[in-house]
Amino acid sequence: MSGMVNYDDTISSSVTSNELGIVLCKYCSSMIGTLPTNGFKKLYGVCDSEECQGENRKGNGYER
């Protein structure tokens, strides 16, 4: 334990290279954000646009 590595610095400096996970809106395909993941990952979510939020509500409310 020499304390030569500051944990916070380690995180912030490695975040950019580790942000391989991308979150896309499943309706308009716009990129919502990135996630620090191990390896490339594509995730789908819903962006903040009213259209997509509406679509999402419709989709969830659709009777199965």
> Nearer Cβ to Zn ion, position 11 or 28?
28
10, 14, 15, 28: residue in contact with Zn ion (rule CB under 5 A):
28
> Nearer Cβ to Zn ion, position 6 or 53?
53
25, 36, 54, 57: residue in contact with Zn ion (rule CB under 5 A):
25
With CB under 5 A, what is the number of residues at the site for Zn ion?
A: 6
- Output the CA torsion sign for 61, 56, 23, 36: negative
**Which region, judged by CB under 5 A, interacts with Zn ion, from 1-9, 10-18, 36-44, 47-55?**
47-55
| CA-only gyration radius of the chain, Å | 18
The answer to whether 26 touches 45, Cβ cutoff 8 Å, is yes
